């Protein structure tokens, strides 16, 4: 009897332990399932956040779009266009741009004794300077460390200094981490100059000063036309109409100057001889003053739209395919004199 009871007790104990083990396994399985569900939910939420962030960045547009919308980077954008870098800044990226404001460019040009036009005309220098503001990849402010150097698209390095705010070389980052669909912008308060170009720009400024000292520019727009030798009809017309004094005055004025060939074509179309045109001073004055605009208007100052002339009527500027004034194409631009500027056109403008 005691042997049977002992066996029965052992069996009951085994069954009890087995049941407890099963219950423990079930609980562990339930806990694993809960943990898996929570992890999956967290992963889904993170993916949704990433997707929302990506959508927000796409909505912001490219680096060029963001800079354009800000309205304080007009010189930077004009420089990028002049240097042929707009497509790069609109590309897939990612890129990091240290973007000087218009005030930063104005200060740099003043220090160097250069005008914006002079800078924009030197595309090699412009490309070198602009690419010194661009780093491949997306570099946020949290990725920067004190003393680190970063290779720019120019090839030269910039240096990060975090001892007093965030500085890139001698420029202070005034606004960081402006996100675009193809990269990131950090706004800086001065223009970065790569070492070789710093010296080159100073040399250019000294050369410009020397040219100014030597009075390198022709005195008047009439001198430009006379020296060129291809504006004989225009000069004869100005003399016949009594406009030479106006064209040699202090100014400044801008002249859209038809060549002799342009006048010949116009006279042929109108069935007039040069003598007949020169004899009609009223017509001559009306036509010639339609080619003159007050002020020094360089090609970089032009924009699509209407511009009033000394005639009183407007000319229309069209930049969609080169530079056109009404139906005439500008074939040579920005011939400067002390009293203004001449743009050569390939046909006569008729009011």
User: How far apart (Å, rounded) are the C-alpha atoms in residues 153 and 240?
Assistant: 58
Contact 289, 310 (CB under 8 A): yes
pLDDT of residue 276: 87
Q: What is the CA radius of gyration of the chain?
A: 36
Cα distances (Å, whole numbers) of residue 20 to 23, 28, 211: 5, 12, 100
Q: In this predicted structure, what is the pLDDT of residue 27?
A: 44
Question: What is the Cα–Cα distance from 318 to 234, expressed in whole angstroms?
Answer: 24
From the options 3.20.20.140, 2.30.180.10, 2.40.30.10, 2.30.40.10, give the CATH code of 63-213: 2.30.180.10
Q: How many residues does the chain have?
A: 351
Which residues have CB under 8 Å from 255's CB, separation 6+? Answer: 221, 247, 291, 292, 293, 340, 341, 342, 343
**What phi and psi, each to the nearest 5 degrees, are found at residue 69?**
-65, -30
pLDDT of residue 156: 92
- Per DSSP (E only), the strands in the chain are 95-100, 134-136, 149-151, 157-161, 167-168, 171-180, 183-188, 253-258, 292-294, 305-308, 314-318, 324-325, 328-337, 340-345
How do the domains of the chain map onto residue ranges? 63-213, 221-345
Buried b (16+ CB within 10 A) or exposed e, 324-349: bbbebebeeebbbbebbbbbbbbbbb
What class, spelled out in words, does domain 221-345 have in CATH?
Answer: mainly beta
- Residue 207: per-residue pLDDT: 54
**Between the CA atoms of 273, 275, 279 and 281, what dihedral angle is there, to the nearest 10 degrees?**
70
**Regions of the chain with pLDDT less than 50:** 1-31, 33-34, 36-42, 46, 48-57, 210-215
Domains 63-213 and 221-345 share a fold: yes
Would you say the pTM of this structure is higher than 0.75? no
Q: For residues 127 and 115, is the Cβ–Cβ distance under 8 A?
A: no
Q: What is the pLDDT of residue 218?
A: 86
Q: How far apart are CA 30 and CA 10, in angstroms?
A: 31
- Residue listed under structure tokens 């003043």: 110
CA dihedral 193, 197, 202, 206 (to 10 degrees): -150
């Amino acid at each position: 009897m005691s042997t049977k009871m002992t066996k029965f007790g052992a069996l009951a104990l085994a069954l009890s332990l087995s049941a407890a083990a099963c219950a423990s396994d079930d609980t562990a399985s339930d806990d694993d399932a809960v943990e898996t569900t929570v992890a999956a939910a967290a992963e889904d939420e993170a993916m949704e956040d990433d997707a929302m962030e990506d959508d927000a960045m796409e909505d912001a547009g490219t680096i060029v779009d963001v800079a354009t919308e800000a309205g304080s980077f007009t010189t930077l954008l004009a420089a990028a266009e002049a240097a042929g870098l707009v497509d790069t800044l609109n590309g897939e990226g990612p890129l990091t741009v240290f973007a000087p404001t218009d005030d930063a460019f104005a200060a740099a040009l003043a220090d160097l004794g250069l005008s914006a036009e002079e800078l924009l005309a030197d595309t090699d220098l412009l490309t070198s300077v602009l690419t010194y503001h661009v780093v491949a990849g997306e570099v946020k402010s949290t990725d920067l460390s004190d003393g680190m150097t970063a290779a720019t698209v120019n090839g030269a390095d910039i240096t990060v200094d975090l001892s007093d705010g965030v500085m890139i070389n001698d420029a202070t980052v005034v606004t960081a981490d402006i996100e675009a669909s193809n990269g990131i912008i950090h706004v800086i308060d001065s223009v970065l100059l790569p070492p070789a170009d710093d010296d080159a720009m100073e040399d250019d400024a000294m050369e410009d000063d020397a040219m100014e000292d030597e009075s390198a520019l022709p005195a008047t727009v009439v001198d430009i036309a006379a020296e060129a030798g291809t504006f004989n009809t225009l000069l004869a017309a100005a003399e016949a109409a009594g406009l030479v004094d106006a064209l040699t005055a202090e100014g400044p004025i801008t002249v859209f100057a038809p060549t002799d060939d342009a006048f010949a074509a116009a006279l042929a179309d109108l069935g007039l001889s040069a003598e007949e045109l020169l004899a009609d001073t009223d017509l001559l004055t009306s036509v010639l003053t339609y080619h003159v605009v007050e002020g020094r208007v360089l090609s970089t100052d032009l924009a699509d739209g209407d511009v009033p002339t000394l005639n009183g009527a407007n000319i229309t500027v069209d930049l969609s395919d080169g530079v056109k004034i009404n139906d005439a194409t500008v074939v040579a631009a920005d011939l400067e004199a002390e009293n203004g500027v001449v743009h050569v056109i390939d046909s006569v403008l008729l009011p």
